[in-house]
Amino acid sequence: MKALCHVIAVLVMGLPTPAWSQQAGELRKCVSPGGAVSFQQQPCAAGSRQTSSRSYVAEPAPTAEQIRARATREQVARAESAELSRRAGTSGHLSAPPGRGTLHRVAIAKDDAACQRARRHRDETLERVGLKRTYDLLRALNDEVARACR
């Protein structure tokens, strides 16, 4: 029985270490004679040259508890984000305060012709005024375009 355990231990020790259990190693950059670049853990193949290498220590895989904690944090963050979006009115839907009925989005048809007229008016005015334009004029023209193009 003892001999069998010894044989099994020798066999297990001779097995290659799985990639996921390696905690440290060296990453090599190899360039083949044809110029192809490869990054690998093994030494460069015959005829290739090693141009650089870096030692690394792999991060351990997260435990089940860490995975659960991360999922909980992400869920809380999504809920907080949704609540803040709802409060800011950017959630994509409208909600009414409790007991006040329901709100509905009303689509306002955008008048593309009015938008184009406002842009044309702004461009013509700026062309006519040239470099004598003022901040107040620019602001008024841009506000007019913004109102027309909503």
pLDDT string in tens for the chain (150-residue length)? 444 444 344 344 444 444 445 578 899 999 999 999 999 999 999 999 999 999 988 888 899 999 999 999 999 999 888 888 888 777 655 555 555 555 555 555 567 888 999 999 999 999 999 999 899 999 999 999 999 988
User: How high is the pLDDT of residue 110?
Assistant: 66
Torsion of the alpha carbons at 38, 42, 45 and 48, rounded to the nearest 10: 50
The answer as to whether 11 is a domain residue is no
The two structure tokens encoding residue 81: 């984000």
Judge if 48 and 71 occupy the same domain: no
Judge if 66 and 102 occupy the same domain: yes
Query: What one-letter code names the amino acid at 96?
Result: A
User: How high is the pLDDT of residue 123?
Assistant: 94
Length of the chain: 150
Judge if 68 and 56 occupy the same domain: no
Judge if 86 and 53 occupy the same domain: no
Q: Which domain holds residue 67?
A: 62-106
The two structure tokens encoding residue 72: 């909980």
Judge if 100 and 67 occupy the same domain: yes
User: How high is the pLDDT of residue 35?
Assistant: 94
User: How high is the pLDDT of residue 94?
Assistant: 53
Segment 136-143 long-range contacts (CB within 8 Å, at least 24 positions apart): none
The answer as to whether 127 is a domain residue is yes
Judge if 36 and 66 occupy the same domain: no
The answer as to whether 9 is a domain residue is no
The answer as to whether 8 is a domain residue is no
Number of compact structural domains in the chain:
3
Locus of tokens 């999504």: 78
The answer as to whether 118 is a domain residue is yes
The answer as to whether 119 is a domain residue is yes
The answer as to whether 27 is a domain residue is yes
* Measured distance CA(55)–CA(149) in Å, rounded: 58
The two structure tokens encoding residue 143: 């506000």
Please state, in angstroms and as integers, the Cα–Cα distance from residue 8 to each residue in 1, 5, 104, 142, following that order. 11, 5, 73, 82
Judge if 66 and 53 occupy the same domain: no
The answer as to whether 6 is a domain residue is no
* Measured distance CA(27)–CA(41) in Å, rounded: 5
User: How high is the pLDDT of residue 91?
Assistant: 60
Judge if 40 and 30 occupy the same domain: yes
